[in-house]
């Protein structure tokens, strides 16, 4: 909301957002990030979205005088510059004690993920910078959601915290760049959402093998996923400390998700019957790339015995029919699906002559669900319901529940990446906006 109010202010019209209490820190952070640190706002105690009408009215009436005052009084707010020392020094009884104190301070400042981090010393940062052909002060992009300037040096500092090595730097830099190219404003609105949206990284090409990314049981903890974890963690710390994705400031998730310990995987290209995801996006097989998807949950879709392509794909199609549809336009569907398809599903499907496009079309055709179930999240009388859906107000609940519609707009809303070990168990993520893919080799 603060971003919208600032845009209105830029048009020469005064704007004062009404901020729910939990969002005060977010309003302050957003105002600084979006270029108007002196933006005034008023605070109400409750979030409006699921609040009864009478409570919406009374809490707004309670701040009306303050709202009028903000719109009419001369502001005496002054921006206070943050004074941060260029170098932090931690001392202790020995190096271990000093590192413990550093970790305690980093957690207190919310610079880490609350797990132990490595000291980003000058030598550690310089070592990481040696892993790329870019100079330390090179600006890779402005990183959402807060649009901090992501220089190579800042990326290296956060990567040092995660324990990254120089050979990881091209992937991490490309990932930071890739996020900035996702959808409108790098997926800013989703990253700042109260829903558990989180990015996931998929690496294709020779570099995935060179650095040791695991393409099999790729999302869990442990030795096999050491590199997956390090690169994903380095990206997360960049997203937090450069992109200003701080919990309860610019990340307003209601409950949270472990997917925000960002996952990084390599596609299992050796066991895939199809071209890689990067090749789907127009890259060559010998080019290294990273793709970013913004996910919003996950579901394990099991198959307990099908061996035919159609049987395996029907299980998957029926399994992905969960979630909501949009009431904002004339089409059914609205969300995308990222499918991590293991070789024990992809192999038989490909062996029967299904291309990846064929598989996506088949899944889309069979993934249907009750319209009534998918629109339950928003009352039909809500003012945000598009006029194309108003006809449903004249139907009974039973009629709406009995109406089946496609889950997704089209097969283009489905992304398939071959990931996993032995077993026909597919992992499905609600996702969107559409992914972005960036080449890595340019940063070596």
> Which one of 294, 314, 343 terminates a domain?
294
The tokens describing 244, both together, are 């200003």
443 is a domain residue: no
158 is a domain residue: yes
What whole-number distance in Å separates Cα of residue 196 and Cα of residue 260? 8
What whole-number distance in Å separates Cα of residue 375 and Cα of residue 394? 15
Q: Is the pLDDT of residue 307 over 50?
A: yes
pLDDT of residue 75: 59
Task: Clarify whether residues 257 and 317 are in a common domain.
Answer: no
Q: Answer for the pair 295, 195: CB distance below 8 angstroms, yes or no.
A: no
Q: Give the domain extent around 26.
A: 2-72
pLDDT of residue 112: 97
pLDDT of residue 6: 74
pLDDT of residue 108: 96
Mean pLDDT of 9-25: 77
Share of the chain above pLDDT 90, in %: 64
Task: Clarify whether residues 262 and 344 are in a common domain.
Answer: no
pLDDT of residue 85: 56
The tokens describing 307, both together, are 């061996």
pLDDT of residue 21: 67
Task: Clarify whether residues 290 and 348 are in a common domain.
Answer: no
pLDDT of residue 332: 47
pLDDT one-digit tens code per residue, 235-255? 999 999 999 999 888 888 889
Mean pLDDT of 184-212: 89
276 is a domain residue: yes
Q: Is the pLDDT of residue 76 over 60?
A: no
Task: Clarify whether residues 313 and 374 are in a common domain.
Answer: yes
Task: Clarify whether residues 68 and 130 are in a common domain.
Answer: no
> Which one of 251, 270, 294 terminates a domain?
294
Task: Clarify whether residues 290 and 169 are in a common domain.
Answer: yes
Q: For residue 186, name the pLDDT band (cuts at 50, 70, 90).
A: low
3-state DSSP assignment of residue 6: helix
Q: Is the pLDDT of residue 118 over 90?
A: yes
Across the chain, what does the average pLDDT equal?
Answer: 89
Task: Clarify whether residues 139 and 252 are in a common domain.
Answer: yes
Task: Clarify whether residues 281 and 319 are in a common domain.
Answer: no
Q: Is the pLDDT of residue 81 over 50?
A: no
85 is a domain residue: no
Torsion of CA 233, 239, 244, 246, to 10 degrees: -40
Q: For residue 208, name the pLDDT band (cuts at 50, 70, 90).
A: very high
Lowest mean pLDDT: which of 23-32, 122-131, 369-378?
23-32
> What count of other Cβ atoms lies within 10 Å of the Cβ of residue 177?
22
Task: Clarify whether residues 378 and 277 are in a common domain.
Answer: no
Task: Clarify whether residues 38 and 112 are in a common domain.
Answer: no
Q: Is the pLDDT of residue 325 over 90?
A: no
pLDDT of residue 107: 97
**Which region, left, alpha or beta, applies to residue 12 given φ > 0 means left and ψ of -120 to 50 means alpha?**
left
90 is a domain residue: no
pLDDT of residue 84: 56
Question: Nearest CA to 442 among 140, 200, 127?
Answer: 140
366 is a domain residue: yes
Q: Is the pLDDT of residue 2 over 70?
A: no
**Which region, left, alpha or beta, applies to residue 222 given φ > 0 means left and ψ of -120 to 50 means alpha?**
left
pLDDT one-digit tens code per residue, 45-59? 887 777 788 888 888
pLDDT one-digit tens code per residue, 386-434? 888 899 999 999 999 999 989 888 999 999 999 999 889 999 999 988 8
Place of tokens 């091209």: 170
- Residue 300 vs residue 184, higher pLDDT: 300
Q: Is the pLDDT of residue 204 over 90?
A: yes
pLDDT one-digit tens code per residue, 94-116? 999 999 999 999 999 999 999 99
Q: For residue 378, name the pLDDT band (cuts at 50, 70, 90).
A: confident
Number of domain units in the chain = 3
Q: For residue 189, name the pLDDT band (cuts at 50, 70, 90).
A: confident
377 is a domain residue: yes
82 is a domain residue: no
Q: Is the pLDDT of residue 351 over 90?
A: yes
Task: Clarify whether residues 65 and 129 are in a common domain.
Answer: no
pLDDT of residue 65: 83
> What does each C-alpha distance from 79 to 76, 129, 303 come to in angstroms?
10, 34, 58
> What count of other Cβ atoms lies within 10 Å of the Cβ of residue 125?
20
Q: Is the pLDDT of residue 23 over 90?
A: no
Mean pLDDT of 244-267: 92
Residues 6+ apart with CB under 8 A from 153: 125, 129, 136, 137
Task: Clarify whether residues 132 and 183 are in a common domain.
Answer: yes
């Amino acid at each position: 909301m603060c971003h919208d109010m600032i845009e209105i202010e830029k048009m020469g019209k005064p704007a004062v957002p009404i901020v729910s209490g939990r969002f005060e820190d977010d309003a302050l952070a957003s105002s600084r990030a979006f270029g108007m640190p002196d933006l005034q706002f008023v605070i109400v105690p409750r979030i409006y979205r699921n609040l009864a009408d009478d409570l919406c009215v009374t809490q707004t009436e309670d701040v009306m005088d303050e709202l009028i005052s903000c719109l009419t009084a001369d502001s005496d707010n002054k921006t206070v510059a943050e004074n941060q020392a260029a170098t932090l020094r931690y001392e202790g009884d020995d190096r271990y004690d000093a590192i413990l104190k550093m970790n305690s301070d980093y957690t207190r400042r919310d610079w880490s993920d609350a797990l132990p981090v490595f000291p980003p010393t000058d030598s550690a940062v310089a070592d990481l910078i040696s892993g790329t052909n870019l100079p330390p002060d090179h600006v890779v992009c402005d990183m959402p959601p807060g649009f901090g300037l992501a220089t190579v040096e800042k990326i290296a500092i956060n990567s040092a915290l995660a324990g990254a090595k120089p050979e990881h730097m091209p992937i991490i830099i490309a990932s930071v760049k890739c996020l900035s190219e996702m959808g409108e404003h790098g997926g800013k609105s989703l990253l700042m959402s109260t829903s558990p949206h989180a990015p996931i990284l998929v690496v294709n090409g020779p570099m995935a093998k060179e650095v040791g990314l695991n393409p099999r049981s790729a999302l869990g903890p442990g030795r096999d996923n050491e590199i997956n974890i390090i690169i994903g963690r380095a990206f997360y710390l960049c997203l937090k400390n450069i992109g200003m994705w701080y919990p309860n400031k610019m990340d307003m998730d209601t409950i949270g998700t472990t997917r925000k310990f960002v996952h990084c995987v390599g596609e299992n290209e050796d066991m895939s019957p199809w071209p890689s995801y990067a090749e789907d996006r127009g890259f060559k097989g010998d080019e290294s790339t990273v793709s970013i998807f913004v996910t919003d949950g996950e579901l394990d879709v099991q198959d307990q015995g099908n061996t035919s392509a159609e049987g395996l794909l029907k299980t998957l199609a029926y399994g992905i029919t969960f979630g909501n549809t949009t009431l904002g336009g004339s089409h059914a569907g609205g969300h995308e699906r990222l499918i991590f398809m293991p070789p024990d599903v992809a192999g038989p499907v490909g062996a029967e002559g299904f291309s990846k496009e064929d598989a996506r079309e088949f899944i889309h055709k069979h993934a249907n669900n009750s319209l009534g179930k998918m629109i339950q999240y928003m009352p039909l009388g809500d003012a945000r319901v598009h006029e194309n859906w108003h006809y449903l107000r004249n139907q009974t609940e039973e009629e709406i529940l009995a109406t089946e519609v496609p889950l997704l707009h089209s097969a283009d809303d489905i992304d398939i990446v071959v990931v996993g070990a032995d077993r026909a168990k597919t992992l499905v993520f609600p996702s969107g906006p559409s992914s972005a893919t960036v080449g890595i080799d340019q940063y070596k």
